[in-house]
Amino acid sequence: MVKILGLLLALVLVAAACGDDDGDADTGTADTGDGEAMEAPAGCAAGDINISGSSTVEPVSRRAAELYEDGCPDTFITVDGPGTGDGFKLFCEGQTDIADASRQIKDSEAEACADNGIEFTELKVAFDGIAVMTNPNNDAVECLSFVDLYALLGGQSEGFGRWSDADELGASLGSTVAPYPDAPLDISAPGTESGTYDSFVEIVLEGIGEEQEGEDGQFIRQDFAGNADDNVIIEGIAGSDTSLGWVGFAFAEANLDRVKEVAVSVEPGGDCVAPTVETIADGSYPVSRALYIYVNNAKIAENPALGGYVDFYLGDGYTESVTMAFGDSGYVELPADQLAESQAAWAAAK
């Protein structure tokens, strides 16, 4: 009995030594999720952060959120990706703290924010390519030029149900690939709410569309069911042997067992460049764009957790958040000078 009482007394003394009423035993470290401890990020504060917008940027913001929450357990961050346009709508109504965007904000969206008294800071966070895709079983398609993509996907291709329906239009535009396969043309691509949709139209289709139909023309066909969820787009490409579509490069890279990336040339017969981290970084892949987050300035002061999260996003957590959002592939970090510009813009906003 004496031995038992002695053991109980020792346990009580150990417990008292491990903590006190003021919580001074908190070491300021947390588990990263892989068993390794990380230092708590600077600026940790209790609070909720709501992020919505681009499904392309979502994995980066989500990865940053996971890392930040590991070190700041009293911060709760919600991230979803209904699309850039839908994200800006919520943001400009004051419903979110951050808008993820795979394009810059449109004038009409900025005006909606201004009408609601919402001032914001634009922060470039990474680069991403837009991968043109087909099914791995589609051996007939390896490279498409902007002309080919317009012949298949532009406003003048409305109603084309087969690749070969675009033969005449492609040839008239100077295609060196036409005639196209005599097979069903099953399009799986983003919808109008997606920044990836807007970027693809602007980069690939708009210039040729203006030459063909004028500035007020219809630059992209409207007879396919677009989707803001990139995973649904991948399912569509994987589900048809003669599919065609596009999605953010990171999503394509994460699904190369189910989709095939198509090399792209700007001009018919030009250099065919496949999307890779290297070709996106050096600008040689022609269908690339910058990715952004937009922060509600007023909520920076109202919500201390928000400032700490963005500090981490652009600081200690930056490299891992960008490069590890899809394992070791997908997004391209900003060059040092451009990252410094974003960090300076954020410092000014705070």
pLDDT of 203-257, one tens digit each? 999 999 999 988 888 999 999 999 989 999 999 999 999 999 999 999 999 999 9
CA 206/CA 213 separation, integer angstroms: 10
Q: Which domain holds residue 273?
A: 129-289
Distance CA 29, CA 41 (A): 9
**Residues 198 and 49 grouped into a single domain:** no
Tokens (6 digits) for 344: 């300076």
Confidence of residue 47 (pLDDT cuts 50, 70, 90): very high
- Using CA atoms, how far apart are residues 204 and 219, in angstroms rounded to an integer? 10
Asked if 77 and 218 sit in the same domain, the reply is no
SS3 label, residue 246: strand
Is residue 319 included in any domain, yes or no?
Answer: yes
Query: Positive or negative CA dihedral for 100, 226, 166, 209?
Result: negative
What residues are paired with 289 via a beta bridge?
128
Same domain, 163 and 267: yes
pLDDT digits (tens, 9 = 90+) for 268-281: 999 999 999 899 98
The reported pLDDT for the residue numbered 27 is 29
For residues 221 and 282, state if they share a domain. Answer: yes
Q: What is the CATH number of the domain that holds 63?
A: 3.40.190.10
Q: Which of 341, 331, 288 is nearest to 57 (CA)?
A: 331
Query: Which pLDDT does position 31 carry in this prediction?
Result: 42
Look up residue 164 and give its DSSP letter.
Answer: G
| Shared-domain flag, residues 182 and 218 | yes
What integer best gives the mean pLDDT of the chain? Answer: 89
Do 144 and 214 sit in the same domain of this protein?
yes
- Output the pLDDT for position 214: 87
122 lies in the same domain as 174 = no
Domain-terminating residue out of 237, 270, 289 = 289
- Shared domain for 149 and 260, answered yes or no, is yes
Query: Once rounded to an integer, what is the mean pLDDT over residues 113-141?
Result: 97
Number of domains in the chain: 2
More confident residue, 34 or 201: 201
**What pTM was estimated for this model as a whole?**
0.75
Which residue bears the tokens 């394992």? 327
